[in-house]
């Protein structure tokens, strides 16, 4: 294991570029709005020590007419705040240069759009490249300046550039400058600044930039350009409703930068903390050691709950799992690992790899040793590795259950990791003192605890060996769950927060559920309990089946459990590369016959081993997540019910006609509808109403819960 001298930040789990619709280099291809850069060059302004955006990525949009100082101000603001700078005007100028080189009329929208779509525009540092050629100086010339407004005004050109422009700030945020950035390109920007200045002042700045002293002519050109821009359908002269307007006519660049930086800090301080960013900011404490020294017991003791499987035999914990923890008001992540074994092979070797990865990513390591057996040869070997890694390490002497065993601790000094901290993870003895030492050794924790409830949780479930862990690892872009051909490799529910296209998600890998358990298989039984709990705690479920094999009773039992839990479902048919034409027809019949939710759950055919089809999975999840929280207005719902009853009247119940007096949606996530009727509705009629509701509203992937309730009795006097 190696580690740089600078402590590594919390791991940022991202979906690999294979699954993203935008090319891997899209962050450098930022095709912007119509703008020219404003005045002057920018020297290397010092960065403030304080950096803004500890929460979700911050976006600052700086708008304004030509010559208002946007470019100079944006660069300096980005430097001061330690944020990326996105120069939109340079790329629009490069696009205009491409149009001019192609000898296309700048007023011909279709021709301009075709040229722009065919070229490669990039920003590298402060330079602009057109098809690999540095054109930074050429795009500042008079010819480009005269044509840039016409080219950038075309809707087709703008449409081709907007998606990549927005994607550029989706991951890291940034300071974006241009015209109509805040009003049209990034209307959801956190801070919108509209810089303006008098025409005379803008002419003076422009003259100083290009070396011209005919300021009256320049002022006329700027005024004419303002008039042309003001006539566009999307005018760069328009100020966004929530923009902060700053007239820079009588201010120098540094005064403007100071004002904008203060504004950004004010707004950023009032923003809610993003759950994903808050979790990333948490320091990480990895718990490592030989098998069966009590690591998982210590994890459970620290968390105050039984979240890790504990059993009196080695090798129970296999995967690396993360758990948010808190002690004395400070928050951190506890990382549980499998047993460290020397010269491990097969699955045991992958368990060791996970433990070593946890050490590499950690801010602090708790190295757990069984004090009752002393320092074994493997303990000494791992202690040497930890000393070389450079990761701050606390030596933990576990199983010190009484004062009489305190003397055992002194035998561990030879490991070279300082004084051992005696604890009894089973009884809690000494754990509080240990946590005090943990806080002293950690970097400053996040001031606000991450709100995990704000992030959709997606449980990956299925019977053993259908490829759940392979799918989990593919989604994360790294191996977090151990994959092996032996069934029941995953025993715990492994959850990890990831970022997909700038959105936080929590994916939970679960153990495979079997129908029966043999006597003495407490580990398997507890794994199933954890899987059930993961389903109950999830919002959405990826129900994974092996498409190459016939559906069985296990699949049906899981499907019934999912329907009963009321969670959003995406059906994942894995191992699709092994499915031939005959099997496809059989599978269609089996799905219709055996899975109750096959009619309304979206289905994605994938191969987790190769990654085939996975890019279709995330859009389906996003769609189901929206449907899961959909609410139908009460008036619209009652009109729908009335129309449905008019087409198919309710049956009689005894001597009376059934009537639905009122309908309302009582809950979302999942949607639950209450029907106030004068009697119990037949199940068939409730299914009919569900079909009618699904035809009118998109509830794909979501179970709809209906309950009929008799009207409240009237008060009789």
pLDDT of residue 189: 84
List, as own/partner pairs, every contact residues 107-116 make where C-beta atoms lie below 8 angstroms and the sequence separation is at least 24, other chains included.
107/150, 109/154, 109/155, 109/156, 109/157, 110/156, 112/151, 112/154, 112/156, 112/157, 113/154, 113/156, 113/157, 113/159, 113/160, 116/31, 116/151, 116/157, 116/160, 116/161
- Give the pLDDT confidence score for residue 505 in this predicted structure: 81
pTM passes above 0.85:
no
Long-range contacts of 557-562 (CB under 8 A, 24+ apart): 557/513, 557/515, 558/461, 558/462, 558/463, 558/513, 559/594, 559/595, 559/596, 559/597, 560/596, 561/532, 561/535, 562/461, 562/535, 562/597
Tokens of 368: 């757990």
Q: What are the tens digits of pLDDT across the range 361-402?
A: 888 999 999 999 988 988 998 898 899 888 899 999 999 998
pLDDT at 673: 93
10-residue mean pLDDT profile of the chain (717 residues): values are: 31 25 28 31 33 62 80 85 78 88 90 84 74 87 88 78 67 76 79 85 77 80 70 59 82 86 76 55 86 88 66 42 83 82 54 71 91 90 88 93 86 90 92 94 61 74 85 69 36 59 76 50 50 82 94 85 87 94 92 81 91 88 91 91 94 87 88 90 92 94 87 51
The pLDDT of residue 250 is 81
Note the pLDDT of residue 48: 36
Q: Which residues pair with 508 in a beta bridge?
A: 459, 495
CA dihedral 439, 441, 444, 450 (to 10 degrees): -50
Q: What is the pLDDT of residue 7?
A: 30
Nearest to 73 by CA among 91, 97, 89, 53: 89
**HSE-up of residue 565 (Cα within 13 Å, Cβ side):** 21
**Residue 222, pLDDT score:** 75
> What pLDDT, on the 0 to 100 scale, is given for residue 697?
94
């Amino acid at each position: 294991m190696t580690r740089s001298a600078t402590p590594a930040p919390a791991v940022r789990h991202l979906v690999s570029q294979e699954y993203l619709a935008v090319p891997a280099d899209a962050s450098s291809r930022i095709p912007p709005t119509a703008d020219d850069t404003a005045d002057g060059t920018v020297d290397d302004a010092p960065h403030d020590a304080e950096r803004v955006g500890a929460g979700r990525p911050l976006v600052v949009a700086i708008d304004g007419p030509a010559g208002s100082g946007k470019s100079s101000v944006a660069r300096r603001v980005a430097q001061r705040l330690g944020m990326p700078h996105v120069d939109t005007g340079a790329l629009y100028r490069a696009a205009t240069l491409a149009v001019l080189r192609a000898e296309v009329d700048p007023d011909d929208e279709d021709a301009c759009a075709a040229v722009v779509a065919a070229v490669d525009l990039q920003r590298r540092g402060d330079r602009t490249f057109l098809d690999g050629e540095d054109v930074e100086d050429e795009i500042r010339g008079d010819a480009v300046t005269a044509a840039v407004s016409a080219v950038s005004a075309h809707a087709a050109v703008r449409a081709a550039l907007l998606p990549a422009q927005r994607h550029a700030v989706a991951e890291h945020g940034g300071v974006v400058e241009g015209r109509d950035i805040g009003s049209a390109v990034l209307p959801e920007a956190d801070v919108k600044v509209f810089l303006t200045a008098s025409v005379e002042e803008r002419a003076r700045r422009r003259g100083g930039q290009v070396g011209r002293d005919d300021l009256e002519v320049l002022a006329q050109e700027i005024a004419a350009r303002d008039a042309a821009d003001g006539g566009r359908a999307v005018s760069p002269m328009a100020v966004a409703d929530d923009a902060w307007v700053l007239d820079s006519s009588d201010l120098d660049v540094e005064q403007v930068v100071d004002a904008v930086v203060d504004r950004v800090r004010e707004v950023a301080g009032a923003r809610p903390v993003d759950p994903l960013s808050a979790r990333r900011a948490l320091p990480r404490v990895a718990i490592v050691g030989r098998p069966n020294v009590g690591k998982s017991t210590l994890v459970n003791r620290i968390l105050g709950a039984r979240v890790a499987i504990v059993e009196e035999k080695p090798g129970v914990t296999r995967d690396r799992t993360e758990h948010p923890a808190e002690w004395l008001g400070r928050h951190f992540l506890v990382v549980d690992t499998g047993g460290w074994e020397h010269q491990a092979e097969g699955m045991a070797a992958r368990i060791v790899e996970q433990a070593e990865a946890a050490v590499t990513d950690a801010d602090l390591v708790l190295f757990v040793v069984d004090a009752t057996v002393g320092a074994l040869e493997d303990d000494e070997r791992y202690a040497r590795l930890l000393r070389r890694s450079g990761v701050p390490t606390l030596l933990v002497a576990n199983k010190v259950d009484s004062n009489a065993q305190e003397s055992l601790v002194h035998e561990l000094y030879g490991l070279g990791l300082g004084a051992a901290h005696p604890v009894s993870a089973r009884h809690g003895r000494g754990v509080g003192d240990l946590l005090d030492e943990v806080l002293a050794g950690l970097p400053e924790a996040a001031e606000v605890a991450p709100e995990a409830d704000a992030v959709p949780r997606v449980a990956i479930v299925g019977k053993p060996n259908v490829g759940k862990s392979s799918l989990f690892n593919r989604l994360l872009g790294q191996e977090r769950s151990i994959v092996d051909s032996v069934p029941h490799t995953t025993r715990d529910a492994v959850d990890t927060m990831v970022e997909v296209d700038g959105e936080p998600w929590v994916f939970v890998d679960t153990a495979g559920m079997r129908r029966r358990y043999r006597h003495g298989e407490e580990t398997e039984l507890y794994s199933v309990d954890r899987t059930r709990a993961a389903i109950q705690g999830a919002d959405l479920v990826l129900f994974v089946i092996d498409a190459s094999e016939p559906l069985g009773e296990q699949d049906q039992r899981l499907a019934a459990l999912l329907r009963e839990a009321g969670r959003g479902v995406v059906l994942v048919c894995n191992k699709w590369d092994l499915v031939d034409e005959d099997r496809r027809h059989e599978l269609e019949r089996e799905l219709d016959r055996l899975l109750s939710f096959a009619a309304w759950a979206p289905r994605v055919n994938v191969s987790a081993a190769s990654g085939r089809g996975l890019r279709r999975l995330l859009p389906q999840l996003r769609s189901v997540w929206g449907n899961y929280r959909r609410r139908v207005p009460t008036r619209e719902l009652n009109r729908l019910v009335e129309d449905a009853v008019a087409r198919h009247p309710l049956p009689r119940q005894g001597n009376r006609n059934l009537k639905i007096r009122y309908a309302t949606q009582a809950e979302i996530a999942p949607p639950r509808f209450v029907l106030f009727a004068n009697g119990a509705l037949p199940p068939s009629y409730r299914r009919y109403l569900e079909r009618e509701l699904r035809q009118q509203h998109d509830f794909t992937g979501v179970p709809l819960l209906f309950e009929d309730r008799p009207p409240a009795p009237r008060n009789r006097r």
